[in-house]
């Protein structure tokens, strides 16, 4: 298997680059944000539980998030590997993911961290807001999400740096150029 974490703040381009990576490497996309949004739209018990956090730009508590991970991984049994997009967002989530992959005799091969400054993130999300219909793309919620990233999620990077798996990629510029830089990082980690 080939398992990649696509890491970066909201608006860094994780969704856009994930789509291209999935097509090239034939990997399964695992986005916890997508899973949560799907539950919210179906008004499931989980959806009702997480809606408040998501609409306010706050991280969903770890016990809920890791709770959906196992089922999400199992639902894609037989895949060549995963692109984890928006997961892990805390060190605890990263530890749980490592354990889960170990039990499947596999591991995270590379963590690609998209580097984009705060001003650019706000500009991009403002553009996305006009078509996304996401309550959490509202300006005030975006600030909260960026805050959550720099307060909580950023600590995931040293966890992977200590394992020698983190690669920073400049996330500003032409989509294709960024994609090529990500592919180079993945190919050298395979
Ligand atoms: P995303 O689509 O990845 O930007 O996620 C949208 C929202 O879902 C986030 O702002 C969080 O509220 C929640 N979320 C998604 N993934 C996670 C995660 N791994 N841990 C905690 N909350 C998450």
Question: Domains in the chain: how many in total?
Answer: 1
CATH of the domain at 56: 3.40.50.300
Check whether 190 has a pLDDT greater than 90. no
42 has catalytic annotation:
no
Decide whether any atom of ligand 1 lies within 6 Å of the 11 Cβ: no
| Contact predicate 3/108, CB 8 Å | yes
115-154 pLDDT, tens digit per residue, is 999 999 989 988 988 898 888 888 889 899 999 999 999 9
For a mutational test of ligand 1's pocket, the pick from 9, 36, 96, 133, i.e. the residue with the most ligand atoms closer than 8 A to its C-beta, is: 36
Whole-prediction pTM: 0.94
**Separation of alpha carbons 184 and 75, rounded Å:** 29
For the chain, the three-class secondary structure string (H helix, E strand, C coil) is: CEEEEEECCCCCCHHHHHHHHHHHHCCEEEEHHHHHHHHHHHCCHHHHHHHHHHHCCCCCCHHHHHHHHHHHHHCCCCCCEEEEECCCCCHHHHHHHHHHHHHCCCCCCEEEEEECCHHHHHHHHHHHHHHHCCHHHCHHHHHHHHHHHHHCHHHHHHHHHCCCCEEEEECCCCHHHHHHHHHHHHHHHC
Decide whether any atom of ligand 1 lies within 6 Å of the 39 Cβ: no
58-105 pLDDT, tens digit per residue, is 999 999 999 999 899 999 989 999 999 999 999 999 999 999 999 999
> For residue 56, what are the domain limits?
2-189
Decide whether any atom of ligand 1 lies within 6 Å of the 32 Cβ: yes
pLDDT at 139: 86
124 has catalytic annotation:
no
Catalytic residue selected from 49, 51, 122, 134: 134
The tokens 């097509």 sit on which residue? 23
Q: Is the dihedral of CA 46, 49, 53, 59 positive or negative?
A: negative
Lowest mean pLDDT among 3-7, 25-29, 69-73: 69-73
């Amino acid at each position: 298997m080939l398992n990649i974490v696509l890491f970066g703040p909201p608006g860094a381009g994780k969704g856009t680059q994930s789509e291209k990576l999935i097509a090239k490497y034939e990997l399964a996309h695992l986005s916890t944000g997508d899973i949560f949004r799907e539950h919210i739209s179906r008004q499931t018990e989980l959806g009702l539980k997480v809606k408040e956090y998501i609409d306010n730009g706050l991280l969903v508590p770890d016990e809920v998030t890791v709770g959906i991970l196992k089922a999400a991984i199992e639902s894609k049994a037989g895949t060549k590997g995963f692109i984890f997009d928006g997961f892990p967002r805390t060190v605890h989530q990263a530890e749980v993911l490592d354990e889960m992959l170990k039990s499947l005799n596999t591991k995270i091969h590379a963590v690609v961290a998209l580097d984009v400054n705060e001003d650019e993130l706000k500009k991009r999300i403002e553009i996305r807001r006009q078509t996304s219909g996401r309550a959490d793309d509202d300006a005030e919620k975006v600030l909260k999400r960026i805050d959550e990233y720099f307060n909580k999620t950023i600590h995931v990077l040293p966890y992977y740096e200590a394992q020698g798996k983190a690669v920073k990629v400049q996330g500003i510029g032409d989509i294709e150029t960024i994609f090529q830089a990500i592919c180079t990082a993945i190919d050298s980690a395979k």
